């Protein structure tokens, strides 16, 4: 385990921030204790604040063994010699825990320190604000870091139930023949949150839910669901297929909503028309999927938290058990979170009747099948960076094309209100799968 990780220095510019404290350093502590950080690693925090090694170590609630590997260096300038003075590191990884506006300058500063090919950078979304700014960001990074040394995080890709989508599709022969427009009626993706924007108004008000969730997380889910089989599991082959899906996407309808009381949030501009909920209808214009609508809805401050993907199949012919055409179609629901599972809806005869039929479900629930807890996304992502595995990261091209997809609806201002704690009534011509009805399944 972790045997092939070289001697590594991890540097976190922005280490005094919330992300380092809540997610990154705890995840690295776990990886360290699992012996997955390579021999004698160091973690160097960096930022504008001044800390001594001791006061920096005291900020984190980590194991005493791991705490001994933590250091602090003020600013980027001089960080190369600081690292060199601690040993010869074969790999250096910078996790930019910074506002995206600082990515370009920081990449340049890191390069100016004289780091070479052993150095990679990890970036969090958002990668740009629209297509033009995404291109600009990528072209600012490119002179210093080639694509193989940039890791763009989309934490949805690290969710176990998301990683399982390709396994479900390409490791099971029975679904493969029906995964197309001959058998599938619609694809429905629902990603709901009960919390509002909380303390993130300053960021969110400039973004809105389409930039925040659709451009990245939800289009990535759609790619995994609908891409062709890659030639191999090599990250470049998988990315190539995702790019092909993205290039064939078009948004046919989009409706934007905002919860009442949103304007009271800190950092929200008066009169803001930023959407906190959106519903979209898309088409995938290729041979496999043409004619199958994709519906996406996502938003904050609704009645519950949960991400589900539903595949609705076409109905059986209006004969026999379906003579009145009312028999519900088969459905597959991927429960991504909070409880992971896959549910197949089928029709079954009610015992003791002649031909009364009721809907029943075949359930695969992670908690019943797999023991142990599911690792945190950052644990997986950081480990993959150390192993130099790009599979769960987003390429420049994917991100740019995803911006092109959402581009046409980024600047609309029509907005409808909804009550916090409830789902907006919705205007798409869709009969949504009753995802709420699956909540009891899988815990």
Binding footprint of ligand BG6 on the chain (CB under 6 A): 155, 193, 212, 307
Tokens of 26: 């705890």
Contact by Cβ (8 Å): 15, 46: yes
Please name the residues in contact with 373: beta carbons below 8 A apart, sequence gap of 6 or more.
Answer: none
Of 359, 339, 340, the residue nearest 349 (C-alpha) = 359
Strand partners, 121: 94, 150
Q: How far is the CB of 287 from ligand BG6 (least distance, A)?
A: 32
Q: How far is the CB of 276 from ligand BG6 (least distance, A)?
A: 10
Per the residue annotation, which of 73, 155, 217, 255 is the catalytic one? 217
Q: How far is the CB of 197 from ligand BG6 (least distance, A)?
A: 8
Please name the residues in contact with 83: beta carbons below 8 A apart, sequence gap of 6 or more.
Answer: 9, 11, 42, 44, 89, 92
Contact by Cβ (8 Å): 198, 301: no
Question: Measured between alpha carbons, how far is 363 from 346 in angstroms, rounded to an integer?
Answer: 11
Contact by Cβ (8 Å): 139, 107: no
Cβ-based nearer residue to ligand BG6, 301 or 343: 301
Cβ-based nearer residue to ligand BG6, 31 or 336: 336
Of 89, 151, 138, the residue nearest 384 (C-alpha) = 151
Q: Clarify whether 217 is annotated catalytic.
A: yes
Q: How far is the CB of 193 from ligand BG6 (least distance, A)?
A: 6
Cβ-based nearer residue to ligand BG6, 46 or 307: 307
Buried-exposed string 196-232: b where 16+ CB fall within 10 A, e elsewhere? bbeebbeebbebbbbbbbbbbbbbbbbbbbbbeebee
Q: How far is the CB of 155 from ligand BG6 (least distance, A)?
A: 6
Cβ-based nearer residue to ligand BG6, 144 or 277: 277
Cβ-based nearer residue to ligand BG6, 145 or 378: 378
Point out the residues that are catalytic.
217
């Amino acid at each position: 385990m972790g045997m092939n990780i070289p001697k590594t220095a991890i540097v976190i510019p922005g280490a005094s921030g919330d992300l380092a404290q809540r997610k990154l350093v705890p995840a690295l502590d776990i990886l360290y204790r699992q012996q997955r950080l390579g021999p004698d690693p160091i973690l160097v925090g960096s930022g504008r604040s001044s800390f001594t090694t001791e006061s920096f170590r005291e900020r984190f609630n980590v194991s005493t063994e791991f705490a001994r590997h933590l250091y602090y260096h003020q600013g980027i300038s001089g960080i190369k010699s600081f690292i060199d003075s601690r040993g010869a590191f074969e790999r250096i990884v910078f996790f930019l825990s910074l506002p995206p506006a600082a990515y370009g300058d920081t990449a340049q500063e890191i390069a100016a320190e004289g780091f070479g090919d052993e150095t990679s950078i990890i970036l969090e979304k958002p990668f740009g604000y629209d297509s033009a700014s995404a291109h600009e960001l990528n072209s600012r990074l490119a002179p210093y870091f080639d694509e193989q040394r940039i890791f763009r995080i989309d934490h949805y890709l690290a969710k176990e139930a998301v990683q399982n989508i390709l396994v479900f599709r390409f490791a099971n022969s029975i679904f493969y023949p029906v995964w197309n427009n001959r058998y599938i009626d619609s694809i429905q993706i629902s990603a709901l949150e009960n919390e509002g924007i909380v303390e993130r108004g300053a960021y969110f008000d400039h973004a809105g839910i389409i930039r925040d969730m659709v451009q990245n997380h939800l289009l990535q889910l759609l790619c995994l669901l609908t891409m062709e089989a890659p030639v191999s599991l090599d990250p470049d082959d998988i990315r190539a297929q995702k790019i092909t899906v993205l290039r064939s996407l078009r948004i046919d309808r989009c409706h934007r909503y905002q919860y009442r009381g949103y304007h009271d949030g800190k950092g929200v501009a008066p009169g803001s028309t930023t959407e906190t909920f959106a519903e979209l209808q898309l088409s995938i214009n290729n041979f496999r999927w043409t004619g199958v609508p994709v519906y996406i809805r996502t938003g904050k401050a609704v009645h519950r938290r949960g991400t589900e993907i539903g595949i609705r199949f076409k109905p059986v012919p209006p004969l026999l058990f379906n003579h009145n055409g009312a028999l519900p179609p088969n459905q597959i629901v991927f429960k991504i979170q909070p409880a992971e599972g896959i549910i197949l809806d089928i029709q079954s005869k009610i015992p003791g009747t002649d031909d009364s039929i009721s809907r029943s479900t075949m359930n695969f629930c992670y908690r019943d099948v797999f023991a142990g807890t599911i690792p945190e996304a950052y644990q997986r992502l950081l480990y993959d960076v150390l192993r130099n595995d790009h599979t769960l990261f987003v390429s420049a091209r994917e991100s740019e094309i995803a911006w092109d997809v959402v581009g046409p609806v980024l600047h609309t201002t029509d907005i409808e209100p909804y009550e916090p704690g409830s789902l907006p009534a919705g205007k798409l011509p869709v009969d949504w799968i009753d995802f709420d009805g699956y909540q009891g399944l899988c815990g």
